[in-house]
Amino acid sequence: MSAVEQPHVLVVEDEPAQREVLAYNLEAEGFAVSRAGNGEEALLQIRENPPDIIVLDWMLPNVSGIEVCRQIKTRAETRDLPVIMLSARSEEVDRVRGLETGADDYVVKPYSVAELMARIRAQLRRTRPAAIGGQLTFEDIVLDGETHRVTRDGKPLKLGPTEFRLLSTFMEKPGRVWNREQLLDRVWGRDIYVDTRTVDVHIGRLRKALRQHGGADPLRTVRGAGYALG
Amino acid sequence: MSAVEQPHVLVVEDEPAQREVLAYNLEAEGFAVSRAGNGEEALLQIRENPPDIIVLDWMLPNVSGIEVCRQIKTRAETRDLPVIMLSARSEEVDRVRGLETGADDYVVKPYSVAELMARIRAQLRRTRPAAIGGQLTFEDIVLDGETHRVTRDGKPLKLGPTEFRLLSTFMEKPGRVWNREQLLDRVWGRDIYVDTRTVDVHIGRLRKALRQHGGADPLRTVRGAGYALG
DNA sequence: CAGCAATATAACAGTTTCATGACATGTCGG
DNA sequence: CCGACATGTCATGAAACTGTTATATTGCTG
């Protein structure tokens, strides 16, 4: 991670298990993480030690996430603080949208870690561009997280959303072997039921996409273990 | 067939809620988790299906955590099993007593999951580096658990899943002699019936793979006992 | 050195794992 | 409502891997 200084994320989530999983993932990505288990705590922390971005669960005891968000966006000194809302169901997203709380982005549970990460980066890119490297590079492949574009040897590649997330996962740690479970968690999202063999199919599609202008297959199949880039 | 890929953690905690939160978090991190609600169950599981590490609550009904730990550390065959003790008390006296029973680390409740995770990794890094994606080195052989790559004298070696696991086992304790039963347990997994002679065959295959670019055979046959690396 | 037991190796057949194309379903914008 | 695109599952065939057996070799004992 090429952060000059670690971006600081505040995670507001009342369910300890989910909070910790999220915090752990963020820490693993090189973020500095603070935690809050409820709205009051969140508002207090924002005043005492303002983060660079907030990931806010919609459902919170007492002061709801919506209310927290509203307060953040009302105060002049915190108005620029990016807020990403987490919501449990897709129907609720519409309600949240309707309420116009001013959140900068919404992520629906179950979300893929990769997706949330990408959105956090997208927000930070807006406010702290220096802290985030917008592009990932591996050999002649360049992936731009902001524009969602991938090029190989300068030529643009056409790939679907799933293939894009797959590739970004691989490109974050070139060489690392991911097993199918890990890829499902990361690319598809936790708590989603899909056959693990489906991963194979998408790997195949990604391979095809990467070869569309010629060039060798950069993906490596590790029999009995999973897949890796390079 | 059970993938012996993920490190296996045994959680011993009598309070179901706490046990599940912990197990959930561990599973989210990619560990394979077994659970035990009391000391007897824990000891039984350790015998039947030994984990790579144990997270052990101090306070347990009947057989206390201390006693479980003492028994683990008394037996020769489980002495190397890392134990992390969880305790509600924070007095120094307890810490000392906990470590006296032979626990490898000690975490005081309430603990942060991230911290516990870090300590688990630290223990595994010590005892089973390859299991958490570390690198192992022996002479000119390098095995990387993260990329699943093995090189000798810089040149990549091609080996199948079983040979890979076999080699990581040897490389975790260079010089140690493993008999065929132990190798079967560790590389093939319990509850799998294969002829012990099969080990010989795979040792042969591993030897061939290690010699594929020339170089001496680093494996040592100990007649009547088993095999060792170096 | 002969005889014996343990180990090494080669060959083989069965099984598992993976790659790929086809297809039904679902989604989204027009 | 249609059509293009995306997605998950399945069927099939190929390739890699595995366990066993049979046979050769080795090392030890006396």
Domain ranges of chain A: 8-131, 135-229
B5-9 mean pLDDT: 83
Q: B147 vs chain A: nearest CA distance in angstroms? A: 4
Do the bridges between strand B155-157 and strand B149-152 make them parallel or antiparallel, or are there none, so unpaired? antiparallel
Q: Out of B37-46, B131-140, B169-178, which region has the weakest mean confidence (pLDDT)?
A: B131-140
Closest-CA residue to A201 (of A177, A185, A183): A183
pLDDT at residue A130, rounded to an integer:
44
What's the full length of chain B, in residues?
Answer: 230
Instruction: Flag whether pLDDT at A86 surpasses 50.
Output: yes
Whether cis (ω within 30° of 0) applies to the bond prior to A129 is: no
Closest-CA residue to A10 (of A40, A42, A54): A54
Do the bridges between strand A53-57 and strand A8-12 make them parallel or antiparallel, or are there none, so unpaired? parallel
pLDDT at residue A101, rounded to an integer:
64
Name the CATH code of domain B132-229 (choices 3.10.50.40, 1.10.10.10, 3.30.2140.20, 1.10.150.240). 1.10.10.10
Q: Extract the tokens encoding A25.
A: 């993932």
Average pLDDT over all residues of chain B: 86
Question: Percent of chain A beyond pLDDT 70?
Answer: 84
B contact test, residue of A24, A29, A181 with most B CBs within 10 A:
A24
Helices within B139-195 (DSSP H only): 161-172, 180-183
Instruction: Flag whether pLDDT at A116 surpasses 90.
Output: no
Q: Which is it for the CA torsion A70, A72, A76, A81, positive or negative?
A: negative
H/E element, B122: helix B113-127
Place of tokens 């505040």: A10
B1-10, B13-22, B67-76, B205-214: which is most confident: B205-214
Cβ neighbours, 10 Å, residue B93: 9
Tell me the one-letter amino acid at A79.
Answer: R
Question: Percent of chain A beyond pLDDT 90?
Answer: 30
A20-31 mean pLDDT: 81
Instruction: Flag whether pLDDT at A131 surpasses 90.
Output: no
Instruction: Flag whether pLDDT at B132 surpasses 80.
Output: no
**Protein-covered nucleotides on strand D (Cβ within 7 A):** 5-11, 16-22, 27-28
Instruction: Flag whether pLDDT at A73 surpasses 90.
Output: no
CA distances to A79, A142, A221, B61, B107 from B11, rounded to whole Å, are: 44, 43, 33, 15, 14
Q: Per-residue pLDDT tens for B215-226?
A: 999 999 999 999
pLDDT at residue B95, rounded to an integer:
55
A contact test, residue of B11, B25, B143, B157 with most A CBs within 10 A:
B25
A22-45 mean pLDDT: 84
Q: Give every CB contact of residue A114 below 8 A, 6+ residues apart in sequence.
A: A165, A168, A169, A186, A187
Instruction: Flag whether pLDDT at A79 surpasses 90.
Output: no
Find out whether A222 and B147 touch, Cβ atoms under 8 Å: no
State the Cα–Cα distance between residues B91 and B66, nearest whole angstrom: 16
CA distances to A185, A189, A211, B143 from A207, rounded to whole Å, are: 20, 21, 6, 27
Q: Per-residue pLDDT tens for B194-208?
A: 999 999 999 999 999
Instruction: Flag whether pLDDT at A98 surpasses 60.
Output: no
CA distances to A45, A53, B112 from A33, rounded to whole Å, are: 12, 10, 13
Longest dimension (CA), chain B: 58
A77-91, B35-49, B155-169: which is most confident: B155-169
The reply to whether the predicted model has a pTM over 0.85 is: no
Helices within A9-108 (DSSP H only): 16-28, 39-48, 65-74, 90-99
State the Cα–Cα distance between residues B196 and B200, nearest whole angstrom: 8
Residues of B in contact with A17 (CB under 8 A): 21, 24-25, 28, 113
pLDDT at residue B3, rounded to an integer:
34
Q: A13 vs chain B: nearest CA distance in angstroms? A: 15
Fold classification of B8-127 is: Rossmann fold (3.40.50)
State the Cα–Cα distance between residues A182 and A228, nearest whole angstrom: 12
Q: Out of A33-42, A102-111, A185-194, which region has the weakest mean confidence (pLDDT)?
A: A102-111
> Looking at the partner chain, which of A20, A177, A182 has a beta carbon nearest the beta carbon of B25?
A20
Top-tier CATH class for A135-229: mainly alpha
Whether cis (ω within 30° of 0) applies to the bond prior to B82 is: no
CA distances to A4, A227, B49 from A181, rounded to whole Å, are: 33, 11, 22
pLDDT at residue B62, rounded to an integer:
78
Average pLDDT over all residues of chain A: 81
Question: Does the beta-carbon distance from B113 to A20 stay under 8 Å?
Answer: yes
User: What is the separation of C-alpha B148 from the centre of its chain, rounded to a whole number of angstroms?
Assistant: 17
Q: In this predicted model, which residue has the larger pLDDT, B111 or B39?
A: B39
> Which pLDDT band holds residue B5 (cuts at 50, 70, 90)?
low
Q: In this predicted model, which residue has the larger pLDDT, A230 or A91?
A: A230
Instruction: Flag whether pLDDT at A200 surpasses 80.
Output: yes
Fold classification of A8-131 is: Rossmann fold (3.40.50)
Q: Give every CB contact of residue B228 below 8 A, 6+ residues apart in sequence.
A: B170, B174, B175, B176, B177, B178, B219, B220, B222
